[in-house]
Structure 1
Amino acid sequence: MNESEIYEQIRKALADAPRNQYTVEMHLQMIKYADKLKNVTSKEFCEGVGLKPSFGTEFSKMRNLTQRLKSAGLNTDLL
């Protein structure tokens, strides 16, 4: 799956998320694809998904959190 396909999957997941679950879904998607987007800047991520630039901080946080979760046994392929 290439970068643009990942962005499309994330956009679809966010569009399908219930209104009160949008932020949760956004964080989950960031964690799910963190390894595949490890060379992407937070600015590029936000532009690719169509998010406000302020969400770049969240992307960076989730990418860092993903490493901790994987160390604890999380398999992001199952998300």
Structure 2
Amino acid sequence: MNESEIYQRINQALAEAPRNQYTVELHLQMLKYADALKNITAKEFCEGVGLRESFGTEFSKMRNLTQRLKAAGLNTDLL
């Protein structure tokens, strides 16, 4: 799956998320695709998904958190 397809899937998940669950869904999607997007910058992520640049910090946090969660046994393929 390429970067563009990932952004489309993230946008679809966000569009389908209940209004009060948008940020939770965004974090979940960031965790889910962290490995596939490990070589892009936070700014590129925000541009690709169509988010304000301020969400770049969240992307960086989730990418770092993913490494720790996977070390503890998380399988991101199941998200």
- TM-score norm. by structure 1 comes to 0.99
| Structure 2: segments with no counterpart, 5+ residues | none
Q: Which one-letter code corresponds to 1:72 in the other structure?
A: A
Identity value in percent: 84
Q: Structure 1: how far apart are the matches of 2:40 and 2:8?
A: 15
Q: In structure 2, what is the equivalent of residue 2 of structure 1?
A: 2
1:1-79 superposed matches below 5 A: 1-79=1-79
Q: Structure 1: how far apart are the matches of 2:36 and 2:45?
A: 12
What SS does the corresponding residue of 1:64 show, helix, strand or coil?
Answer: helix
The RMSD of aligned alpha carbons is 0.2
| Structure 1: segments with no counterpart, 5+ residues | none
- TM-score norm. by structure 2 comes to 0.99
Aligned length: 79
Stretches (4+) displaced over 4 A: none
